[in-house]
Amino acid sequence: MTVMADSPEGRDEPADTSTQPLPTAVAGPARVGSPRDLAARARPGDVLVIDALDLREAEADALAATGAIAVVNAQRTASGRQPAAGARRLLDAGLCVIDGAGSAVLAVRDGTRLTLAGDEVRRGAAVVAEGTALTAARVVAADTAALDHLKVQVAVFGSHAIERLEREGSLFFEGVGLPDLGFDVSGRVVLVVAAGDGAAADLRRLKLFIRDRRPVVIAEGGAVQACLDEKIRPNIIIGGIDTAPDNALASARVITLTSDAASLSRLEAIGAAFDSSDVELSGADIALLAAHHGGATVAVVAGRRASAVDVLSAEPDVGIGAFLTALVTRRASAEASVIADTYRHRHSLVFVWAVMGLAVATLAVALLSLEEARSLAESLWDSVTGWFGASE
């Protein structure tokens, strides 16, 4: 049975009632940082120190792939607020996990040798932090609590979504109030690049598609550098202007959002053409709606990895906006991963070889029509037949 216990932070959390033994002690050098940072620089045998509430599954997989032996989380990897997929992936990969160790553990320096024993994190003989050693039973208890929490989240989310539709239904279903993209996207393919961790990887996988289809590229400011690194220059940049390079801003159509107010003077200084929008949506969602209502044949979304739980857990305006945008554009949009897995060059390999064979045959006919080429061919043929004749 799962019971609820009061946490130090005042949240209700699942109390562990199992008698499953705790993991045995492990030790290794500390690496402190965000999950994204550590995924890039951690080494086999490290003890990873993070500060992430409800670690996402993709982040857990990236940490496990480093070869680290343990994770110490200042917050709760499995809080009971949502399914504990990240915590489960860490345990399945064989990592020792201490949860809710507190912010003091973040002061540990990189390279410091830490020992995890039971619920304690030690440096030598000194206990530097204490949390909860995760076990499979504790993760199951967190999942059970998450189910009850999700029921409440879904009810609240639905109520807020209806309220927003009553206020802004014309924005989502008719495009009223959307900014002018400055490009005619009617009948065009549009590539929307969101400022997510997977943007660069998605763009690399889409290279063939981009080369063949030449889409109109709309990027959030935080994704512009990923585009440039893949030799893709955005036609339109929406929001997150402070993170975009000057040269990209100067050559693109720029649409600023309310959060970009501090960057307007920068745009004026570099002579960038820009318009402003007060629509309360992310840059990627504005791009999707504008492409949809502008008549684009399809909008491919790169860099976005939001699950249903992520949408429910996001800030209300952000999560509900993303949900309603997906609802409206679902028939004319596709995830980059789907396109990358299914797209093939418009010309098949058989067709390419047929064209090459035809070209070779045409060249041969053209050469044989020349007196010199015909004489050379006859001479070579006489040499070959003479050689075979001599060998008999």
To which residue do tokens 């064989």 refer? 94
**Integer angstrom CA distances of residue 231 from 193, 200, 208, 237, 339:** 14, 11, 13, 16, 19
DSSP secondary structure code for residue 72 in this structure: E
Class of domain 3-143: alpha beta
The residues near 214 (Cβ < 8 Å, ≥ 6 apart) are: 189
> Contact at 8 Å (CB) between 316 and 162?
no
Residue 78 CA: distances (Å) to CA of 90, 133, 142: 11, 11, 6
**55 DSSP assignment:** -
Q: Of the candidates 323, 377, 336, 362, which has an alpha carbon nearest to the alpha carbon of residue 162?
A: 323
At residue 1 the predicted structure's pLDDT band, cuts being 50, 70 and 90, is very low
Q: What number of residues does the chain have? A: 392
Whether pLDDT at 17 is above 60: no
CB proximity list for 204: less than 8 A, separation 6 or greater? 230
The owner of tokens 């699950």 is: 307
For the chain, give the mean pLDDT: 84
Average pLDDT estimate for 287-309: 88
Q: Return the structure tokens found at 324.
A: 């309603």
Cα dihedral value 190, 290, 257, 231, nearest 10: 10
At residue 158, the pLDDT reads 87
Distance CA 234, CA 110 (A): 38
Over residues 113-170, the pLDDT tens digits come to 999 999 999 999 999 999 999 999 999 888 888 787 778 878 888 888 899 999 999 9
Which is more confident, 286 or 317? Answer: 286
Q: Check pLDDT > 70 for residue 217.
A: yes
Neighbours of 141 (CB within 10 A): 24
Q: What is the CATH number of domain 175-342?
A: 3.40.50
Q: Which residue has the tokens 């130090």?
A: 8
Q: Which two tokens stand for residue 235?
A: 């036609």
pLDDT of residue 95: 95
Comparing 72 with 307, the larger pLDDT belongs to: 72
Distance CA 54, CA 73 (A): 10
Judged against a pLDDT cut of 50, whether residue 10 lies above it is answered with: no
Instruction: Report d(CA 212, CA 345) in Å as an integer.
Output: 7
> What's the pLDDT score for residue 79?
84
At residue 264 the predicted structure's pLDDT band, cuts being 50, 70 and 90, is: confident
Q: What are phi and psi of 7, to 5 degrees?
A: -90, 165
- Give the pLDDT score at 359: 74
With 80 as the cut, is the pLDDT of residue 312 above it?
no
Strand partners for 32: 49
Q: Where are the domains of the chain?
A: 3-143, 175-342, 348-377
Q: What is the pLDDT of residue 369?
A: 60
H or E stretch covering 217 = strand 216-220
Taking the C-alpha atoms of residue 81 and residue 68, their distance in angstroms, rounded to an integer, is 26
Dist. CA 119–CA 308, nearest whole Å: 32
pLDDT at 314 over 80: no
- pLDDT at position 352, please? 64
pLDDT at 381 over 80: no
Q: What is the DSSP string of 292-315?
A: HHTT-SEEEEES----HHHHHHS-
Q: Which residue has the tokens 């037949």?
A: 385
Same fold, 3-143 and 175-342: no
Q: Which amino acid is at 280?
A: E
Residues 235-255 pLDDT 10s: 999 999 888 999 999 999 999
> Integer distance in angstroms from the first to the last C-alpha of the chain?
93
Please determine, for residue 4, whether its predicted confidence score (pLDDT) is greater than 70. Answer: no
- Could you report the per-residue pLDDT of 176-209, keeping only the tens digit for each? 999 999 999 999 999 999 998 789 999 999 999 9
**Is pLDDT of 70 > 80?**
yes
